[in-house]
Amino acid sequence: MLAFQLRNAIYNIRFTTSAAHRQQNFSLTSTRWISSFQLTPYDVNMILRENEFSHIFTDGENTLLGYESNQLASNKPVEDSRTEASFIHKNAFICGIFDGHAGSACSQVISKRLLRYIAAGLVDRKTLREEIAKGCTSQSFLKCHNDSEDFVKEIQKIYEESFSRYVNDIANTEMTPEEAMDKACLQLDSDMSDEALKHSDLRTIMAVAMSGAVACVAHIEGRDLSVVSTGDCAAVLGYQNDTGQWMSKKLSYEHNTDNVAEVKRILSEHPPQEADTVIRNDRLLSQLAPLRAFGDFRYKWSNEIMEKYVVSNYGENYMPPNYYTPPYLTAMPDIIQHQLTADDKFLVIASDGLWDFLSPNEVITLVGEHLSSKKFLDPLKLPDGDVTLGQISAILAKRKAGRQKKPLDQNSATHLIRHALGGTDYGIEHSKISYYLTLPQDVVRLYRDDITVTVIYFNSDYIKQLS
């Protein structure tokens, strides 16, 4: 009983720890009290690697070598989603990470639908019209690599009707890639709103409307890299400078109260007398942390619609406080475009569960070192031409030294998650990882969020040819 009371006391103390200070305030002593047992290294590996996925592009004429991804849940069910796909009509790749809140429904829906809306907008209009003439569906433009499930028939029919209207609407309108991506995000969000109001009797449709999700999507075609972001997921480019040092470059903006420009934007869209209520306690209307998101229509619909569809069915508690001049929320994305060079080696996209623990620089350094250490595991290849025994000896010695740094994980996304949970100034601490993985379901969300990571590797030789 005493141990139980002490454990609860420590829990209560640690409950006040914010996400930004989770790692900083980690205490190995309190961990031993909190966790009733420790996982074995084998158990930790099984948990961390359960959702690993990797894909290699075998065609050498490709901007990408491949990608690796992983996901570690905190919420049950997990509220993060991820999707990766290649275009059917051209040599291009698109992937995204989606972080849900107030449930997993919206995240799951946009992870399947958003990439398809974007893809339809990015194919040339002649191809689009030809596909429409053949009776295209939302799956006519992409081949997904890590998604074998789809919506139930009743819901799928509703979504396909919306998609059909969308492609017919844009079929004769020329758009820049940036315009097409922006249009896709806003149209999908609008379609989800219309679907919810039209089919408010369907619980699945309304669950999507009442929940929300943020998104970060990367599109790569040739040397052109575009990152589309709405919310607080993030994308970071890893490249090497002239001295071979790993460097990071942010390719997204977080739409939260840390972004001063975003706060000013929202305040400017509402009367001055709402300045103290639009954002309060670092949240939109004191409730929502991301300042842009898909879904979450109870921050977008008019007061009349809220009364008719939300308050009448879900109660007054679903009406946000100080709801005077909606909409307060938008799915409008920020789009950052980048021309790839041979120095650009990889792109990391992750939900905020990773960035709570690791900075962009730390993430890029970890992936870069992981990439370098894996090279020593490849079959030995001698340089072309005559090679002396001394040169071979030096190559073998370097290879032997490199093997001592052999990573625990082949998958770089898993490598990042392991370091996020267990990293210390002295390396990986097993007891720290075990602590985070054995927290009870009813409190784990107070210590870590869902973590979803995708690492995309670029083909430097091919990019050099395009330059």
Range of the domain at 351: 16-255+329-461
Q: What local confidence, expressed as pLDDT, does residue 146 receive?
A: 86
| C-alpha–C-alpha distance, residues 61 and 91, integer Å | 9
Is residue 143 situated within a structural domain? yes
Give the start-end residues of each E strand in 285-398: 294-295, 334-339, 344-350
Quote the pLDDT of residue 404. Answer: 56
Q: Report if residue 275 sits inside a domain.
A: no
pLDDT of residue 396: 60
pTM for the whole thing?
0.87
Q: Is residue 165 part of a domain?
A: yes
pLDDT digit string (tens) for 117-150? 999 999 999 999 999 999 999 999 999 998 877 8
Positions of the chain with pLDDT lower than 50, given as ranges: 1-35, 376-377
Residue 163 falls inside a structural domain: yes
The pair of three-digit structure tokens given for residue 444, joined into one six-digit string: 């784990």
Domains held by the chain: number: 1
Is residue 294 in a domain? no
Supply the DSSP symbol for 288. B
CATH number at residue 235: 3.60.40.10
Predicted confidence at residue 374, as pLDDT, reads: 62
Query: End-to-end distance of the chain based on CA atoms, in angstroms?
Result: 69
- Cα-atom radius of gyration of the chain, to the nearest Å? 24
The answer to whether residue 308 sits within a structural domain is: no
What residues does 423 pair with on adjacent strands?
428
pLDDT of residue 150: 81
Tell whether 313 is covered by a domain. Answer: no
| DSSP β-ladder status, 423-424 and 224-230 | unpaired
Q: By C-alpha distance, which of 134, 135, 95 is closest to 118? A: 95
- Two structure tokens written together for 165: 């209207």
Whether 2 is in a domain gets the answer no
pLDDT attached to residue 17: 38
Retrieve residue 348's tokens: 């990391």
Distance separating alpha carbons of residues 248 and 282, to the nearest angstrom: 27
